[in-house]
Amino acid sequence: MFRTITLCGAAALLSLSGAALAHDGAHVTDPQIAHIAYTAGQLDVTAGQQALAKSKNAAVRAFAEEMVRDHAAVNDKALALVKKLGVTPEANATSAALTKQAGDTAANLAKLDGAAFDKAYVANEVAYHKAVNAALKDTLIPNAQNAELKALLETGLTLFTEHQKHAEHLATEVH
């Protein structure tokens, strides 16, 4: 459930990770964390699929393939973990906002072609990974109660930090 977010959407994720989760003083639960993390991953899979359908740039396509492969693999591990633990991921304001914003971004990206699409997709991936990594580091990992969930999130953070670096490097090459 992880797609792509505009630069504004990435900022929204940063604020959502703290604000929406702390809404009315509520504590984010492991089922909510699982849903947010899975949603974020699936939305980036979908964004990568959109890039594969639209981009002709070999470097952008290779990056999109990496996003699809890696985020799908982490989500498969997350699904296996929640099944093992008997946890049902719980929809929440953050995962809903992520999904809405990703839909808006996908619609905006759909209007672009060629280099304009590539540049916007890569810029979005930089912002998205910065926001997701911040949410993982500052909100999701510290609030996870289950050690296995926390470990999976930490593994994701390591991988997604590499994605951010890759996207930042790609952004310097895509014009």
- Alpha carbon dihedral 3, 89, 164, 63, in 10-degree steps, equals -50
Query: Total domain count for the chain?
Result: 1
pLDDT per position as a tens digit, 109-124: 999 999 999 999 999 9
What whole-number distance in Å separates Cα of residue 117 and Cα of residue 113?
5
**Residue 16, pLDDT score:** 45
Q: What is the pLDDT of residue 21?
A: 39
Task: Give residue 175's pLDDT.
Answer: 80
Q: What is the pLDDT of residue 26?
A: 53
CATH of the domain at 116: 1.20.1260.10
Q: What is the pTM of this model?
A: 0.85
Encode pLDDT of 25-53 as tens digits: 357 999 999 999 999 999 999 999 999 99
Nearest to 13 by CA among 168, 124, 144: 124
- Has residue 1 been placed in a domain? no
Q: Which residue range(s) make up the domain with 159? A: 7-173
pLDDT the model gives residue 83: 94
2 occurs within a structural domain: no
Task: Provide the pLDDT for residue 131.
Answer: 94
Residue whose C-alpha is closest to residue 33's, from 173, 157, 158, 120: 157
Give pLDDT < 70 ranges for the chain: 1-26
